[in-house]
Amino acid sequence: MDDETVDPRADLMYGLEELDEARPGYDQAALYYDGKVPEVFTSIRLRRALAAHNIDFDLNFAKTPVDAVTDRLEIAGITGGTDEETAAISKIWQDNQLDLEMPDVFRRAGEFGDAYLMVLPVEDEAGNVLRVEMFYNSPQTVRVIYDEENPRRKAFTIKRWCEGAYLRAELQYDDRTERWTTSQGSQGKQPADWTPWPANPEEPDSWEIDHDWGEQPTFHFRTDRPYGTPEHYGAYGPQNAITKLQATHMGTVDSQGFPLRYALTETANTDTSDLEPGDFDEGDWPLDENGTGPSDSGSDSSLKAGPGELLLLRGFKQVGQFDVAQPSVFLDPITFNVRAMAVICTTPLHLFDPSGDQPSGQSVRAQDAPFTKKVSNRQLSYGATLREAFVFALRRLGFTDPVVTVHWKPAETIDDVEGWQTVAAKIAAGVPRRQALVEAGYRAEQVDAWLSGTDDAELQRRVDVLASLADSAQKLGAAAALGVITADQVTALMSGAIDDLEALAQAQEAG
């Protein structure tokens, strides 16, 4: 087939279709993360009443799996193969405020499963690159389309947005960028709705911008391949149950505080309704402009049911009050669903309730192991993408074959007495000291710096000191809990011991 017969809008329409198909899933993920998913009620009357009064009782646990991973993703540093490259990386980082931007990229990647980082060179009139801009783009408006033969290769990237009465779109290729627009008010559903959008109105051909980059300036952060899954996807079902239970529980609180009372009569007169039971179906109750029906106003019966109300009947024979639902009926299932959410989303349960009983030492490490593995996998994936982005940026700044290394803070480090005792035991059993410290969660470059100029005996002494110090802290904490010693005294003792150790270490280094 001749190139002239290929519709230039084919990629555009395919990309728009992909965006439209993916958008509902991203919108749903945002609703669950923000806690804006409405309650699900089988009763039409109850659903209408809550909707009419805009009542909600948000109890959002679904965001926890996202935030838990994001909190563990901390970049320790990014370095280049040379000092010049490292300096350029540092400048890019500072210019783009990436200490603020990157955590947001990681959070959005967890929230949606996908996030995009745009890396665009800014040139002067002569074509010289002045700086490189990096900024986040939402998967709700951007999507990388991968080659069907090689799913690791980007076929093209599409970005669509609304600008006033117009829809705009850009297609990014390895060698060019195409700009498209609709006419005013057009929905952009048909190929004919889209026309080229020149960057310069005086240059009609400027809708197509050629470049020699050899790659596209959009970098895809994702939790899976080719497209990710939200970190909290497995929390949708439990969150629905929690939202329903919480809303229903709140509906019983008034009755718990003001029980519904009754009084029985001697005469068997049950004709107290103004409406016959079959007059209305459940979905046909007449509602006024406020969404209020006859049951809400009390006009359907002479018996007014509500918190603190009294059912008044002639010829009292007996009075009493109706039992209300116990809080445990709702709270116990909520606890179960939170536990289910933790298991499904591979998130430690203690992260959902930091105020409860917290595991410690080996117990918390055992519970956190699957979660720590997940964080490590995200570091590998996000680190590879971030490395690609900085390599691209350095090439635009004139560096040839740059080398970039992303350093992460450990997903987990040992800082308790049991942990340091384990490290000491490993070293005593013959495990190399460097390996034992790396397995404790410390970065290799940190360990190398610690070991530099330190002999085995000195390192063993330091490990022993740390283990003893941790053990002392634990025992002093127990003594403070029993009231044998005050918290201030514990702090003073530990501070003095640490100061003495630091002074001794400085004296040894000086000697």
Last residue of a domain, one of 360, 385, 412: 412
Pair (44, 67) in one structural domain: yes
Helix axes 98-112, 64-72, angle to 10 degrees: 140
* pLDDT confidence of residue 509: 60
Q: Side-chain half-sphere of 177: how many Cα atoms within 13 Å?
A: 17
Q: Specify whether the CB–CB gap between 176 and 252 falls below 8 A.
A: no
What integer pLDDT is reported at residue 85 of this predicted model? 96
- Domain region containing 5: 1-127+220-257+321-412
Tally Cβ neighbours within 10 Å of residue 467: 19
The answer to whether residue 156 is domain-embedded is no
370 and 249 co-located in one domain: yes
**Which of 379, 395, 412 is at the close of a domain?**
412
Clarify whether residues 389 and 508 are in a common domain. Answer: no
Pick the last residue of a domain from 412, 434, 464: 412
Whether 502 and 469 share a structural domain: yes
The predicted pLDDT at position 304 comes to 63
Residue 353: inside a domain: yes
Same domain membership, residue 327 and residue 229: yes
**Are residues 368 and 505 both part of a single domain?**
no
Q: Which residues pair with 360 in a beta bridge?
A: none
Residue 208 class from Cβ within 10 Å (0-12 exposed, 13-18 middle, 19+ buried)? middle
Residue 189 falls within a domain, yes or no? no
Residues of the chain with pLDDT under 50: 1-2, 271-280, 282, 295, 298-300
Tell me what pLDDT residue 502 has: 67
∠ at Cα 69 (231, 351), nearest 5°? 100
Fill in the amino acid letter for 143.
R
Q: Is the residue at 69 inside a domain?
A: yes
My answer on whether 437 and 397 are in the same domain is: no
Same domain, yes or no: 88 and 231: yes
Distance CA 242, CA 248 (A): 10
d(CA 302, CA 298): 7
Whether residue 102 is found in the same domain as residue 237: yes
Q: CA nearest 146: which of 194, 114, 178?
A: 114
226 preceded by a cis bond (ω within 30 of 0): yes
pLDDT recorded at residue 277: 47
> Residue 301 falls within a domain, yes or no?
no
Structural contact between residues 388 and 153, judged by C-beta atoms closer than 8 angstroms: no
Report pLDDT for 54: 56
Residues 9 and 109 in one domain: yes
- Which residue is listed with tokens 């740390």? 466
Residue 385 belongs to a domain: yes
- Residue identified by tokens 């627009």 is 181
408 and 336, same structural domain?
Answer: yes
- DSSP secondary structure letter of residue 138: -
| 14 exposure class (CB count in 10 Å sphere: 0-12, 13-18, 19+) | middle
Q: What is the pLDDT of residue 139?
A: 98
Backbone angles phi, psi at 58, to 5 degrees: -65, 130
The number of folded domains in the chain is 2
Q: Do the domain assignments include residue 352?
A: yes
Q: Are residues 233 and 328 in the same domain?
A: yes
Can you give the pLDDT at residue 73?
95
- Does some domain include residue 443? yes
